[in-house]
Amino acid sequence: MENNTIRQCPACGGTARKSIGSKNGFEIFACSNCSTLYTSRVPIADESQDYDEYYSESNLSVPDFIRERVNEIIIDFSKYRDTNRLLDIGFGAGTILEVASKLQWNVFGLEVSKPAADHGRKLGFEVFHGNLIEARYPDHYFDVITSSEILEHLPDPNADLREIARILRPGGMFWATTPSARGLSSRVMKIDWSVLWPPEHMQLYSKKGVCLMLKNAGFSVIKVKTFGINPMEIADYVLPKTNKEESFDRVQTGYQLNEGFSKSPMRKRVQSILNHLLNLMQIGDSLKIYAQTK
């Protein structure tokens, strides 16, 4: 069954666009106003990513260096502590929940994946299995809401962001990461970038687009940085391949790269400088979002 509904830009609502090609049966557009990349339509039921099959024992654990980085992020949220409640949307392996709980936050988790939700309950956390609208959290309930690599998956991100703004207390913090439509990898590889992957990822936002979307959802203080890059993926794309059958593992190489940077204070400093430069040039492959409610 074909879904012929044509989407507006999910970031700015614009209708002016140009096609950059097709991938996995989906036409991909670039918004002429904000440069966000998005699919021409939302997947129908039998095309949608099955998140119950996405998680297994192998990806419900993370390396120690990620826990260390998450700890640094959560410590920075202490300035927003009031109700002492923190919600992680799409918590996956539960790393943010575990780290925040150890830092004395009262944590809540939300997951559409049943295996991940069950895993979170086994860890002892209060978990809702389903989407954010279904959870019906009270108004102004949370100090902090986190969402790592989730916004690119949502069929209606504006509705979810409005709901996040509703359940955050005034002055609360929404922290999120999501791939950048204007990062170096996207500019070099264009539609061939592995992150541009419908129907799993339905949109990749530009910095301009995500700022407009957050403002329209009710956020007032918005800061967005670009960071991170996987030079090994770019090299794999542009250099001649000795083994054309071998596929590139973006996730594994990304882990290896970040783990390498985490091994000493000097390497961490180098990574920090590189990320600072990527942000200055606006070519990092990821967007890091800090947005406060009014």
The SS3 of residue 178 is: strand
Question: Could you report the per-residue pLDDT of 111-124, keeping only the tens digit for each?
Answer: 999 999 999 999 99
Confidence of residue 2 (pLDDT cuts 50, 70, 90): very low
Could you read off the pLDDT of 227-247 as tens digits, one per residue?
Answer: 999 999 999 999 887 665 567
Residue predicted with more confidence, 3 or 6: 6
How is residue 141 annotated by DSSP?
A: -
Decide which of 190 and 5 is more confident: 190
Q: How far apart are CA 146 and CA 10, in angstroms?
A: 20
User: What is the tens place of the pLDDT at every residue in 33-56?
Assistant: 999 999 999 988 777 666 767 776
pLDDT the model gives residue 44: 82
Q: Distance (Å, rounded) from C-alpha 292 to C-alpha 126?
A: 24
State the pLDDT at residue 255: 81
pLDDT of residue 4: 53
Considering the entire predicted model, what is its pTM?
Answer: 0.93
Q: How many whole angstroms separate alpha carbon 35 and alpha carbon 29?
A: 9
Q: What is the arithmetic mean of pLDDT over 247-252?
A: 80
Yes or no: say if 213 and 151 are a contact pair by the CB < 8 Å rule. Answer: no
3-state secondary structure string across the chain: CCCCCCCCCCCCCCCCEEEEEEECCEEEEEECCCCCEEECCCCCHHHCCCHHHHCCHHHCCCCHHHHHHHHHHHHHHHHHCCCCEEEEECCCCCHHHHHHHHCCCEEEEEECCHHHHHHHHHCCCEEEECCHHHHCCCCCCEEEEEEECCHHHCCCHHHHHHHHHHHEEEEEEEEEEEEECCCHHHHHHHHHCCCCCCCCCCEEECHHHHHHHHHHHCEEEEEEEEECCCHHHHHHHHCCCCCCCCCCCHHHHHHHHHHHHCCCHHHHHHHHHHHHHHHHHCCCCEEEEEEEEC
Query: Can you tell me whether residue 22 is helix, strand or coil?
Result: strand
Q: What are phi and psi of 6, to 5 degrees?
A: -90, 130
Report residue 1's pLDDT band, with 50, 70 and 90 as the boundaries.
very low
Q: What is the pLDDT of residues 80-96, one digit of tens each?
A: 999 999 999 999 999 99
Burial (CB count within 10 angstroms: exposed 0-12, middle 13-18, buried 19+), residue 1: exposed
- How many angstroms from the chain centroid is the CA of residue 26? 21
SS3 192: helix
| Residue for token pair 């096609």 | 19
Torsion of CA 266, 272, 276, 281, to 10 degrees: 90
Stated as kind and residue range, the H or E segment containing 291 is: strand 286-293
**Structure confidence at residue 67 (pLDDT):** 92
